[in-house]
Structure 1
Amino acid sequence: MRPGHFIAVEGPIGAGKTTLAAMLARELGAPVVNEIVEENPYLGKFYQNMEDWSFQLEMFFLCNRFKQLEDEARPLLESGRTVVADYHMYKNLIFGERTLNGSKREKYRQIYHLLMDDQPRPDIVIYIKADLPTLLRRIGMRGREIEQAMDPGYLSRLIEDYEEAMPALARREPGTAFVTVDGGEIDFVENPAQFREILSQVKEHMQ
């Protein structure tokens, strides 16, 4: 049986990944894998003191994403189902490179490759890019208390990291189809025509 398509939606914090993933999954009749965020016990501490809590935070995310890919995504894909996820495993390195330093960064890289190198990889990636005002507005609208202490400077640096990392990922995985969505110009929630255009591009890559 042919494996199903694996679609990942990526972008910085507040870009709208979970919303777009849910909308695509609904239209495609596909299950959706959502990353665990608010359940991370280190997130609030991290936003208050990034240096002290970054390793614990990133390890929690890495281990949970590994388990989701291994236990949820892989069986569905191997059974021929298409799966939509609101993250790409590569985000572990994007965030880890930003938050970790020295020996902790190197240990994290080693653990990342040990866990993730044999996991199923998305064949379609949707990258939602957005500027800082857009992200701050959306973060404020969704009202997660733990995010209210987030340093805008950290978010701004993440935007830069994604702008570098996504083209690098495309070069590393030339067989993966990439769809870029400008979150500052496109409102796929309020504008159905704009969402249909994204959906159309995804379906083209599924053929």
Structure 2
Amino acid sequence: MKPKIIVEGTVGAGKTTFINYISERLCLEPIYELTDSKLIQILENFYIDPSKWGFQLQIYFLTKRFKQMKIGCEKGNVVMDRSIFCDHIFPSVLLKRGEMTKLEYDIYKELHSNLIEFSTPPELMIYLKCSTKTAIDRIKKRGRLWELSIDENYWEILNREYEDFFGQYSLSSLLIINTDSVDERFSNIVQIVEEIFREPEKVIYEYNGNVVNKRSVANA
């Protein structure tokens, strides 16, 4: 089986709120990011000293993403919070900021590429798009200390990496939702998702809260 929906987006894009919404209305089981005390400890250390802890964090995250992917494929009727398919974005940001060495990045990429071969794309990927300013405002609002400690350049590069990745995405049908302009009730989202599931071929839909644009993946 393959996961029904995977939801991706930069930190602060609104993934948890959206997953709670869509899982209830489409009767899908939500699978949130897998975590444990070890991951939280590494994450907190990372935000204090990214250069020292970045590689360890990304390798441990990758193992969690792969386990999460296996659970999603076994259950099928799920909506997942992040996935292994976008996991490479984070080490790419660290490499560009000089907080991960080229050797560390190459080791990560080799492992990531091998695990991707055993991972199944979802029926639908949903990308929650937002401006860096919106993401930072939401990060500040929820007040997680380790997120607040990192400089705004990190969030800017991270957002650009997501934009670049989904500008070339073709693994499955894709719904891009601009969460800068979509209201918190996610009006019309369920209808759009159900319409995409009826499509016989892979498609890309973009929704800004008012207008839906559609194109085939081949013409993206």
TM-score, with length taken from structure 1 = 0.85
* Residue 28 (structure 2) pairs with residue 30 (structure 1): yes
The structure with higher relative contact order (CA 8 Å, sep 6+) is: 1
Quote the residue 1:13 is aligned against. Answer: 11
Does the 8 Å CA contact 1:6/1:121 hold for their aligned counterparts?
Answer: no
Does the 8 Å CA contact 1:5/1:206 hold for their aligned counterparts?
Answer: no
Given candidates 86, 92, 111, the residue that maps to 1:97 is: 92
Q: Relative to total residues, which structure has the larger strand share, 1 or 2?
A: 2
Query: What is the letter of the counterpart of residue 140 of structure 1?
Result: K
TM-score, with length taken from structure 2 = 0.80
| Pairing 1:1-150 to 2, within 5 Å after superposition | 3=1, 6-36=4-34, 39=37, 40=39, 41-70=41-70, 72-77=71-76, 82-99=77-94, 100-150=100-150
- C-alpha displacement at 1:133, in angstroms? 1.9
Does the 8 Å CA contact 2:7/2:15 hold for their aligned counterparts?
Answer: yes
Looking at structure 1, the residues matched to 193 and 10 of structure 2 have their Cα atoms a distance apart, in angstroms, of 20
Does the 8 Å CA contact 1:7/1:83 hold for their aligned counterparts?
Answer: yes
What do you get for the CA RMSD once the two structures are aligned?
1.7
- C-alpha displacement at 1:45, in angstroms? 1.7
Identity of aligned residues (%): 28
Does the 8 Å CA contact 2:2/2:73 hold for their aligned counterparts?
Answer: no
Q: What runs of 5+ residues in structure 2 fail to find an aligned partner?
A: 95-99, 199-220
Q: Relative to total residues, which structure has the larger helix share, 1 or 2?
A: 1
Aligned residues: 191
Does the 8 Å CA contact 2:2/2:120 hold for their aligned counterparts?
Answer: no
Instruction: Rate the CA distance shift 1:183–1:58 in 2: closer, same or farther, 3 A.
Output: same
The runs of at least 4 consecutive aligned structure 1 residues that moved more than 4 Å come to: none
